[in-house]
Amino acid sequence: MAISPITESFPFKNLPREIQREILEHCDIRDLFSLSKVSKYCKALTEHKVEKVKRAQNLQKSRDTLIVGKELAAIINQPFLQCDIYGASDEILHSASQFDQWFKDHLSQLNAITEIDLSFFNLGIEITSIPDQICQLPNLKKILSLYNKIRSLPDSFGNLTSLKSLVLPGNDLRILPDSFGNLSSLKILNLEGNPLQSVPDSFSNLLSTLREIDISKNQLELFPRKIHDDFHTAYFMTNDEVHLRRKPTSIIMATLATLLGFRK
């Protein structure tokens, strides 16, 4: 189905193949721009495809916002914006633009939320992102999102200073935001089964409070070198796994060389 450059009123579920989700998940816009240098023809083709990819990604993010917003509304038992998440793209984009105002109008009730389950099994649908507004909930202590397609966390995720448990196994996270180290109350972290390639240096700030970490089945090559002396831990590591569990302080931590070398 062709995309109208003016109305963009095509149904979401009938997105053209080249910008469907599976394609987007493996699309790096920087690579497309590199290809554009090959020839004038490639440049024009690349710019066209990049624009289509950007529109599709914006549409997906708007759709995610509405899905999460609907879950928030159910938690506080309030009506939500009327929108068909499988409907026309202009309808989805318009409804998503109203979410911020809906969020502000119900902020006093939303502030009482202490946990939210964004798992595929709970929502009945996959999401690829978490709305920025979630990071404004001061009393949120637990976030679950099992076996979804979340590719990134909001830059402001570190504002959730009351968060104690973050359980996001089986998603598509490759990096964590720099603010991640501001999660000063975090005790349980499960990012198992995510293609993590690195963690920010600020991650080290969490090691004095974390009790349990599972970042196994990842693609980590580097781990922060700043390790707190009081984080007495048993480490079980292989080339693609990192399991960390807090142990009593009587257990002596492995040598720093062993720790940083990812050796048992």
What CATH number did the domain enclosing 179 receive? 3.80.10.10
pLDDT for the residue 54? 76
pLDDT for the residue 257? 31
pLDDT for the residue 66? 96
> 100 and 222: one domain?
no
| β-bridge partners, 188 | 165, 212
pLDDT for the residue 36? 47
Report the half-sphere exposure of 189 (CA within 13 A, side-chain side): 25
Judge contact between 42 and 35, C-beta under 8 A.
yes
pLDDT for the residue 215? 82
> 43 and 141: one domain?
no
pLDDT for the residue 224? 52
Question: What SS3 string covers the chain?
Answer: CCCCCCCCCCEHHHCCHHHCHHHHHCCCHHHHHHHCCCCHHHHHHHHHHHHHHHHHHHHHHHHHHHHHHHHHHHHCCCCCCCCCCCCEHHHHHHHHHCHHHHHHHCHHHHCCCCEEECCHHHHCCCCCCCCHHHHHCCCCCEEECCCCCCCCCCHHHHHCCCCCEEECCCCCCCCCCHHHHHCCCCCEEECCCCCCCCCCHHHHHHCCCCCEEECCCCCCCCCCCCCCCCCCEEEEEECCEEEEEECCCCCCCCCHHHHHCCCC
Q: Pick the last residue of a domain from 84, 110, 136.
A: 110
Distance between CA atoms of 246 and 113, rounded to whole angstroms? Answer: 28
pLDDT for the residue 38? 47
pLDDT for the residue 206? 87
Q: Into how many domains does the chain fold?
A: 2
> 144 and 230: one domain?
yes
> 226 and 193: one domain?
yes
Q: Pick the last residue of a domain from 110, 136, 163.
A: 110
Q: Which domain holds residue 8?
A: 1-110
pLDDT for the residue 5? 39
Beta strands across the sheet bearing 188-190: 115-117, 142-144, 165-167, 188-190, 212-214, 241-246, 233-238
Distance between CA atoms of 141 and 182, rounded to whole angstroms? Answer: 14
Type of residue at 219? Q
> 67 and 17: one domain?
yes
Type of residue at 81? L
Distance between CA atoms of 99 and 133, rounded to whole angstroms? Answer: 9
Which tokens sit at 87? 């409907």
> 106 and 200: one domain?
no
Q: Is the pTM of this model over 0.85?
A: no
Question: For 88-133, how does the pLDDT look when each residue is reduced to its tens digit (9 = 90+)?
Answer: 888 999 999 999 999 999 999 999 999 999 999 999 999 999 999 9
pLDDT for the residue 50? 66
Intervals of the chain under pLDDT 50: 1-13, 15-27, 31-32, 35-39, 41, 225-264
pLDDT for the residue 216? 81
pLDDT for the residue 232? 38
> 131 and 22: one domain?
no
> 202 and 260: one domain?
yes
